[in-house]
Each structure stands twice: as C-alpha cells, then as structure tokens.
Structure 1
Amino acid sequence: MLESFIFATVMCGFFGIIFKKNLVMKIVSMDVMSTGVIAFYVFVASREGLFTPIIGTATNDGTYADPVPQAVILTAIVIGFSIQALMLVGVMKLARDNPTLESNEIEKNNTP
C-alpha cells in the first residue's frame, strides 16, 4: 500500500512537469517527484531489527543499519534543494523580461 502512494507521488510530479505550463509549477512538480523518489529509496532501504551503528551501545549481534543510504539520501536532499533554488533564480530572471511565466508564451516571444 505504501509503495502505491509513493508511486502515485512520483507520477503526480512527473505528469505535473509534462502538463503544467507555468514554470513555477513545473519546479514544484519536480520537487514533488524528487520527494517521491527519496521516499521510495528510504522505503527500500528500511529493515526491521537493525540498530544504529553508534559506539557504546551494548548490542553485539551484528545487525547494524548501513549508514551509506542515509548519507546518499541527505546528499540527494541537499542537491535537490540547491537545484530548486537555482531554477527559481532562473525563473526570476525570466520574469523580469517576460510578462508571464507560461512556457508557451515565453517560447513564442523569444522565437525569431
């Protein structure tokens, strides 16, 4: 059931990127799709019965969680945030020269 909600989140973002014409809505849709992908990665990497690998705990059974997926997810979140900020700056620069943020109108105005 959780997989279907994650898949629906990814598909909502994907279809938003394709069908929305406003550039800000495209950026928001990309962020929604990125959130779904990160949620899917966390869902696949989660396992029951694993302990956090912290020195000093008294568990010696060897069932520790792998910290690499956590580092990858944190990196993906930071990179996604920076890409979103960069795209919003680009849209702000486009908004100075164009009266609208609709992609069709921008293409029409800037085509020779």
Structure 2
Amino acid sequence: MLEASVLITVMCGFFGIIFKKNLVMKIVSMDVMSTGVIAYYVLIASHHGQLTPIVSYVKSSVDSSVASDVISSASDASMSSLSYADPVPQAVILTAIVIGFSIQALMLVGVMKLSRDHPTLDCREIELRQTP
C-alpha cells in the first residue's frame, strides 16, 4: 500500500511536468516528483529490526586504557549480535534533499528573471514570442 502511494506521488509529479503549462506549476511538480523518489528510497532502505547506526558509550572515571579494553571487549561480544543500519544511504538521501532544494531555488530565480521580460508564465506564449 505504501509503495502504491509513493508511485502515485511520483506519477502526479511526472504528469504535472508534462501537462502543466505554467512554469511555477512545473517547478512544483518537479518538487513533488523528487519527494516521491526520495520517499521511495527511504522505503527501500527501511528494514524492520535494525537499529540506528549511532553507537555511544558512557565514559566513567576508569583509566582510559582500561576503559578502551572494556569497550573493545564489550563491542566484540554484544555488538556482533546486533544489526545496525548502513549510514551511507541516509547521508545520500540528505544530500539529495539539499541538492533538490537548491535546484528548485535556482529554477525559481530563473522564472523570476523570465517573468520580468515576459508578462506571462505560460511556456507556450513564451515560446511563441521567442520564435523568430
């Protein structure tokens, strides 16, 4: 069911890019489609029963060399039986979100500059005026 809703989101964005003639609506449709793609990758990467890849240790007043030995022996025994999620896909998704936001901002600036020259945001009218 969740896969179907993600697919519907991507398809709504895709058809919005194709059928909408307003440039701002095309940008919004691209954002909807990229949100659906990111949601799809998050859906693929989510596995039940895995822990977050954040491991923290509580420091005590024990000598640092003794504490490192205790931590290494504890990590050998208990860490091997736990299943941790891979942090790389999470970092890639965060990077994709930031890049998508910056591209959307640049497209909006381009549309603002284009709207100064042309009083409309309809791509058909802009193409007709630019055609020699």
Aligned to 1:43: 43
Mapping of residues 3-82 of structure 1, within 5 Å: 3-56=3-56, 60=79, 61-82=81-102
Q: Which stretches in structure 2 are left out of the alignment for 5+ residues?
A: 58-73
Aligned to 2:104: 84
**TM-score for the superposition, normalised by structure 2:** 0.81
1:98 partnered with 2:98: no
Residue identity (%): 75
Q: Which stretches in structure 1 are left out of the alignment for 5+ residues?
A: none
**TM-score for the superposition, normalised by structure 1:** 0.96
Higher Cα Rg, which structure = 2
The alignment of Structure 1 onto Structure 2 pairs a total of residues equal to 112
Query: What is the root-mean-square deviation in Å for CA atoms of aligned residues?
Result: 1.3
Q: Distance in 1 between matches of 2:131 and 2:38?
A: 37
